[in-house]
Chain A
């Protein structure tokens, strides 16, 4: 899931022009506690107490899904049309779904993002989200016994630990395990040390250029 964090309230308020309609996202923003039904309702009250008129609010079950966003806009036509701004409590993808869809009916409406998009997170529990993959487009997990150094080493090192590792811990944060020690230990158990002893080539950053996109042929 995509993990988000609410922006500073004052910064959100400064960007809103006139009255507002609020969109939330029922999948990721709900789990991140930034844009599910509870947070959307809380935001409505907060904005109203700051003298901003809220003309409606709606939680879409996945704001990255353009067709669902378009349908939600049709279903909430009146509230959106009567608002000068639309506040989106969803990741950057969700905000741009709203921009692209609302642009079709009104190019002047102000779309405000209420959150910062942080990382793709594993749900360890409902109160703990952890980054384990950084969407690099060139997965090395088959070589590193299933533990990602691109994400879990702050330097993204592919060939072993840096000299800063101390007593099994990362130089950047003493509470963080050195991921290369973890990879080494697991590769020993898995009998796959040969894989990590080979020199890994630098990553190919052309794989996602110019902008990541996939077009499928045929039906699903």
Chain B
């Protein structure tokens, strides 16, 4: 049982923690993008468990190079620590989180209340996603929610930013989210994807993070479409492949991924596939550089290769 004193102590602890967080309410990610500075983002996947040490290690090693960290929300429909909690943790140790929210696991009410909580604790970037289907992951028998979709979610967040919930009720304290969404530039066919992209812009999206891009040529078609939208920021997804096996696995199992056979062959014939993988990613990234506002670097389990990738990418041709 808690005594009056320990309650008082807890209260003080919470106030100190919150003040610390509130003092860090600068949004470097938004500021850079809006000033047309090139940004780098990367991904952090919370654990299935309560351990935060891996996040801390990634943050420590990449904080100086990466502008913001995308915190996945039960990635691939696998149950993990919440993106909200991990985002708050990242903010508390000096990182800039991008809080991911998928529509798969929470209804509209739960999404809204988590957004209010995130905003209250200093989270200012959000990435709205539909969410991989429930049967991909480790809770195959769970009810897929999808009460609303990503376009609706963007509209809701825009409303929260204006001080109202989705039903027009006034908020006591509004949010200040920089709103992101996903787009797949290599989608085949592209037109239905572009229709949704346009709806997301209409709904109030500020920036887009693309699915991993492997073909600059395919990206070109998407670029020709979006270059007309001046205010939209595009961050291209870059995936560092460590082997031909991973490439084949992704082509077969990851929704929306298109890795050309020429890349699979290049990795297959390489004596040092990771080195080749880094070179391939840097080559693709260089091809996209002048068309995008930043890169989202995905390196699942090989985050230590990100500095090498950046070195490769930033090298003059």
Q: Is the CB of A181 within 8 A of B192?
A: yes
Could you say which residues of chain B place their CB within 8 Å of the CB of A180?
192
Residues of the B chain whose Cβ atoms lie less than 8 Å from the Cβ of A201: 152
B89 at the interface (CB under 8 A from A): no
Among B103, B196, B202, B257, contact of A161 (Cβ-Cβ < 8 Å) = B196
A68 to B108 alpha-carbon distance, docked (Å): 43
Secondary structure dominating the interface of A: loop
Say yes or no: B152 contacts A202, CB within 8 Å.
yes
| Contact call B199/A160, Cβ cutoff below 8 A | yes
A199 CA to B196 CA in the complex, in Å? 9
B189→A181 contact, CB < 8 A: yes
Contact B144 A202 (CB under 8 A): no
Assess whether B130 is in contact with A163, with CB atoms less than 8 Å apart. yes
Which among A157, A165, A202 is the interface contact of B187 at CB below 8 angstroms?
A165
B169 → A minimal CB distance (Å): 16
Chain B residues, Cβ within 8 Å of A202: 108, 147-149, 152, 166
A163→B149 CA distance, assembly (Å): 12
Q: Give CA–CA (A167, B189) in the complex, Å.
A: 7
Q: Are A172 and B258 touching (Cβ within 8 A)?
A: no
CB atoms of A155 and B108 under 8 A apart: no
Contact residues of A between 124 and 181, Cβ < 8 Å to B? 154-168, 171-172, 178, 180-181
Q: Does A45 sit within 8 A of B, measured CB to CB?
A: no
Contacts of A200 in B (CB 8 A): 151
Tell me the complex Cα distance, A166–B193, Å: 11
- In the complex the two chains form, is B133's CB within 8 Å of A163's CB? no
Q: How many residues of B contact A (CB 8 A)?
A: 39
Query: CB < 8 Å: which of A157, A172, A196 contacts B195?
Result: A196
Interfacial chain B residues near A38, Cβ < 8 Å? none
Give the shortest distance, in Å, between B61 (CB) and chain A (any CB). 29
Encode A184-217 as 1/0 by CB contact (under 8 A) with B. 1000000001001101111101000000000000
| Cα–Cα, bound, A93→B143 (Å) | 23
* B146 lies within 8 A of A155 (CB): yes
Query: Are B255 and A166 interface neighbours, CB within 8 A?
Result: yes
Q: Which A residues are in CB contact (< 8 Å) with B151?
A: 159-160, 199-200
Which residue of chain A has the shortest Cβ distance to B156 in the bound complex? A202
Q: Can you name the residue of chain A whose Cβ is closest to the Cβ of B194?
A: A160
Contact B193 A160 (CB under 8 A): yes
- Contact A197:B199 (CB < 8 A) given known A161-B192, A161-B193: yes
A163 touches which of B146, B202, B211 (Cβ 8 Å): B211
Report chain A residues within 8 Å CB of B193.
160-161, 163, 165
Residues of A within 8 A of B191 (CB): 184
Nearest neighbor of A162 in chain B, beta-carbon distance: B130
Most interface-central of A171, A183, A203 (chain B CB within 10 A): A171
A154 touches B133 (CB 8 A): yes
Interface assignment of B173: CB less than 8 Å from any CB of chain A: no
Q: Does B279 contact A (CB under 8 A)?
A: no
From A157, A165, A181, A196, contact of B256 by CB (8 A): A165
Establish whether residues B256 and A171, one from each chain, have CB atoms under 8 Å apart when the complex forms. Answer: yes
Give the chain A neighbours of B108 by CB distance below 8 A.
202
Contact B188 A167 (CB under 8 A): yes
Write the chain A residue with the least CB distance to B147: A202
Q: Are A160 and B195 in contact (CB under 8 A)?
A: yes
Shortest Cβ distance from B85 into chain A, in angstroms?
25
Q: How far is the CA of A196 from the CA of B199 in the complex (A)?
A: 10
B198 at the interface (CB under 8 A from A): yes
A positions within 8 Å CB-CB of B: 154-168, 171-172, 178, 180-181, 183-184, 193, 196-197, 199-203, 205
Some 23 contacts from A to B, beta carbons below 8 A apart, are A155-B104, A155-B130, A155-B133, A155-B144, A155-B149, A159-B196, A160-B193, A162-B130, A162-B255, A163-B130, A163-B183, A163-B184, A163-B211, A164-B133, A165-B192, A165-B193, A171-B132, A171-B256, A178-B192, A199-B151, A199-B199, A202-B148, A202-B166
Given A160-B193, A166-B255, 18 other A-B residues pairs in contact with their CB atoms under 8 A: A154-B144, A159-B149, A160-B195, A160-B196, A160-B199, A161-B187, A165-B192, A166-B258, A168-B188, A172-B133, A172-B135, A181-B192, A184-B195, A196-B195, A199-B151, A199-B202, A202-B108, A205-B147
Closest 9 CB pairs of A and B: A164-B255, A160-B196, A171-B255, A159-B151, A184-B192, A162-B130, A163-B184, A202-B148, A155-B146
